[in-house]
Amino acid sequence: MRVVAVYSDYVCPFCFLAEGRLRHAAAERGLALDWRPFELRPEPTPTLRPEDDYLPRVWRESVYPLAASLGVTIKLPSVSPQPHSRLAFEGFQHAKAHGLADEYNHAVFAAFFQEDQDIGKPEVLTTIAAAVGLDAASFRSDLDRGVYAAVHRQCLEDAAAEGIRSVPTVVSGRHHLAGLPHDDDLAVLLDETA
C-alpha cells in the first residue's frame, strides 16, 4: 500500500477540517496516510488565547464557514491559553507503536475541537488513549517517562528538513500541498500517488 504523509498539529482547526477529507480520499484510492507532527507553537513559544481578538475573528471569518461547507461539527475551544501539543504528539507515537495511530489522531482532534478538552494534560490524553483501545497505565507511564520524546523531536527535525512551514501539508514524493486542500488539487496529488 502506498503512503502519503500528512503534517498536522492538534491545535490547528484546518488540520481537523482536512482530516476526514484526507482519510476518505486516501481510502478511495487504496492509499495509507502517515500522520506526522508539526508544532505550530513549540514550547516555550506562547500559545493563543481564545479570549483575545485573533482567534474569534479567524474562526468567525474562516473556520466556521469552512466547517459548515464541509459538514463538520467544530467549535472554538475555550481552553486558555491553548495547550502546547508536544505531549499529545508523544502520545501519538505511543499509539503508532501499538497500531492505533489513526484512531488516536482522530480522537485527539475530536477531544479538542468538539469536546473542548485540554489536550495538553496527561490525564486527558490518557483517557483518550484508553477510549481508542490503548492500555491506560502503559500509555501514562510512557508519557510521564518521556519514552517517545526523542522520537517526537526527530519527527520535528525531519519536518524541518522536508521544508514544512505550515499545516496541514500533504506530501507525496516531492510534491507538497500546503493548507486546507481543495478537492481538485487533492485529487491530482493523490492520483499521482495511486
Per-residue pLDDT tens digits for 136-179: 999 999 999 999 999 999 999 999 999 999 999 999 888 899 99
The Cα-based distances of 79 to 76, 83, 125 in angstroms read 9, 7, 15
pLDDT for residue 133 is more than 80: yes
Name the CATH superfamily for 3-193: Glutaredoxin (3.40.30.10)
| Residue-level pLDDT at 193 | 66
pTM: 0.96
Residues 118 and 21: their CA atoms lie apart, in Å, by: 25
Per-residue pLDDT tens digits for 85-125: 999 999 999 999 999 999 999 999 999 999 999 999 999 99
pLDDT band with cut points at 50, 70 and 90 for residue 181: confident
Residues 23 and 160: their CA atoms lie apart, in Å, by: 24
| Residue-level pLDDT at 173 | 83
Q: Could you tell me the three cell numbers for 58? A: 479567524
| Residue-level pLDDT at 194 | 63
Per-residue pLDDT tens digits for 18-66: 999 999 999 999 999 999 999 999 999 999 999 999 999 999 999 999 9
pLDDT band with cut points at 50, 70 and 90 for residue 135: very high
pLDDT for residue 78 is more than 80: yes
DSSP three-state, residue 89: helix
For residue 44, whether the previous peptide bond is cis, meaning omega lies within 30 degrees of 0, is yes
Per-residue pLDDT tens digits for 5-30: 999 999 999 999 999 999 999 999 99
Angle between helix 13-28 and 101-113 (nearest 10): 140
